[in-house]
Amino acid sequence: MSLTLHYHPLSSFCWKALIALYENDTPFEPRLVDLGNETERAALLKLWPIGKFPVLRDDAKDRTIPESSIIIEYLDSYYPGRTRFIPADAKLALQTRLRDRFYDLYVHLSVQKIVGDRLRPQGKKDPHGVEEAKARIESCYGMIDKEVAAKTWAMGEAFSLADCAASPALFYASKVMPFGDTHKNVMAYFDRLKARPSFARVIKEAEPYFAMFPQET
């Protein structure tokens, strides 16, 4: 098998890559990485010295591809399927990449700030940073609520890279700042994402690990 994905089933950015792989039934070998295991961590660092996952290895082309957005674009270029993640139209492609960055940088990383703070010991927490992250997420909810009011998916009627990014971002955001009662369009969009077979599969596979998700203290 040419493709191997180095990942962890609880990692939100890994979810993003998995959704793309499952969308097109792309054959690949999933290789779970436990960063707490020194041997597995060393193997990942050898592959990608930054030590972050997901990392896609393509043995057939002798290529190592890190970063979820780049992985998805790589799949779109070299292993295309029925779902095309980047539109052929240049202007629409640019807007799709913008939405991808929006969900990753403003929703996703803000959620990670809040969750990461829960893991900090007492005396090392950053309440000001957490409040900033929550305010940013709230602003994002308002923007998303308007954007998806008349759309099926993030960019319209076609599922894309933007939806791969939105799925894990909104899943974990809903755990730290629920939006169901305040942003109906966001909730409706999130329900459509969860019903998408590729994302439903990712969630199902991650369920045994949900106990590891840090709760608010």
95/17 same-domain check: no
Contact between 85 and 161 (Cβ < 8 Å)? yes
Is 145 within a domain?
A: yes
Domain range for 97: 90-197
- State yes or no: cis peptide before 214, omega within 30 of 0: no
Domain count for the chain: 2
Above pLDDT 90, what percent of the chain?
Answer: 89
Strand locations in the chain (E): 3-7, 29-32, 55-58, 63-66
User: Per-residue pLDDT for 1 more than 70?
Assistant: no
Is 175 within a domain?
A: yes
Query: In the predicted model, what is the mean pLDDT of residues 154-166?
Result: 97
pLDDT, tens digit (0-9, with 9 covering 90-100), for 119-140: 888 888 888 999 999 999 999 9
123/186 same-domain check: yes
49/105 same-domain check: no
Rounded alpha-carbon distances, angstroms, from residue 21 to 8, 162, 215 = 15, 15, 30
Answer yes or no: pTM beyond 0.85: yes
Is 72 within a domain?
A: yes
Worst-scoring range by mean pLDDT, 11-15, 55-59, 120-124, 151-155? Answer: 120-124
